[in-house]
Amino acid sequence: MQRDALIKGLLVLCVALPEGRAFAQDTTPQMQTQPPSGASVVYVTPGEGYTDYDLQEAKRRSRTVRNGLIGTSAAFALGAILFGVGASQCDDFTQFDGRGDWICNNAGDVLVPLGGTFMGLGSIGMITTGIMLGVRNKQKREIERDMRRYRSRFRWDERSGQFVF
């Protein structure tokens, strides 16, 4: 078995050595020194760069994270239910030295750790997705604010050569 593996390894090594440089390792610099002939520079003021697409994308990201928060909350609730059912299958007793302990039947032995795991992971997920939802909603509000500010102010439009609202 070891001899076959050694022969196969040597065969691969012999084939790979004379090959030289792999195509994925092309290290020749391919820099473009001149801009394309039809290129133009566009200056964007803050807030002007946001479009309705950006707002819709921010709403979609916020909705995705909100769905994750709902899912992790459901996992936490399921874990709490499983833990509660498992704990009802256990009895509390005190040993002779004064220490308390649980003794459970088979259902309790399975459901208590399973429910505790779901509750722990669900709580971590809720905290994480809650923070992410706050950040995504903040980004969405900033885009909405900048779009309102830019669209509603009195400004000079260079294309038409007049003031617009």
Q: Indicate whether 156 belongs to any domain.
A: yes
- Cα 124 to Cα 130: distance, rounded to the nearest angstrom: 10
The two structure tokens encoding residue 113:
């750790």
In a domain, 5, yes or no: no
Does a structural domain hold residue 19?
no
User: Residue 54 has what pLDDT?
Assistant: 87
Q: What is the pLDDT of residue 123?
A: 97
Q: Which residues pair with 91 in a beta bridge?
A: 103
Task: Please tell me the predicted confidence (pLDDT) of residue 97.
Answer: 77
Evaluate whether residue 135 is within a structural domain.
Answer: yes
| Domain count for the chain | 1
**What domain range is 110 assigned to?**
50-164
Task: List the pLDDT tens digit at each of the 165 positions of the chain.
Answer: 566 666 666 555 555 555 555 444 555 555 555 555 554 444 445 545 677 888 899 999 999 999 999 999 999 999 999 999 999 988 887 777 777 777 888 888 899 999 999 999 999 999 999 999 999 999 999 988 887 776 656 667 777 877 776
Identify whether 115 is part of a domain.
yes
Q: Does 31 fall in a domain?
A: no
Q: How far, in Å, CA of 165 to CA of 157, rounded?
A: 9
Is 43 inside any structural domain? no
Pairing between strand 155-157 and 162-164?
A: antiparallel
Q: Would the pTM of this model clear 0.85, i.e. be above it?
A: no
Q: For the chain, what is the largest distance between any 2 Cα atoms, rounded to a whole number of angstroms?
A: 93
- Domain assignment present for residue 131? The answer is yes
